[in-house]
Amino acid sequence: MDVINNQFILNKFGFLGAGFSNEIQKNAIVATIKAKTEIIQEGQKNKYVPFLVKGSIKVFSLNDGRELIYYYIRPNDSCLMTFSSIFSDYISRVYAIAEEDSEVLLIPVSVVHEWLIKFPEINRVFYSEYDKRFSDVMNMVNEAVFHRLDRRVLSYIKQQISITGNHPIKLTHREIASSLGTSREVVSRVLKKIENEGEIVQSKEGIKIPVKENVSPV
Asked whether the predicted pLDDT for residue 215 surpasses 50, the reply is no
Q: Which domains does the chain have, with CATH numbers?
A: 3-119 (2.60.120.10), 141-208 (1.10.10.10)
* pTM for this predicted structure: 0.68
User: What backbone phi and psi angles, to 5 degrees, belong to 65?
Assistant: 80, 0
User: What backbone phi and psi angles, to 5 degrees, belong to 110?
Assistant: -65, -35
The predicted structure's pLDDT at residue 143 = 67
CB 110 within 8 A of CB 153: no
What is the per-residue pLDDT across 26-36, written as a single tens digit (0 to 9) for each?
A: 899 999 999 99
Most confident of 17-31, 79-93, 105-119, 175-189: 105-119
DSSP helix/strand/coil, 211: coil
Closest CA to 151 of 66, 159, 27, 48: 159
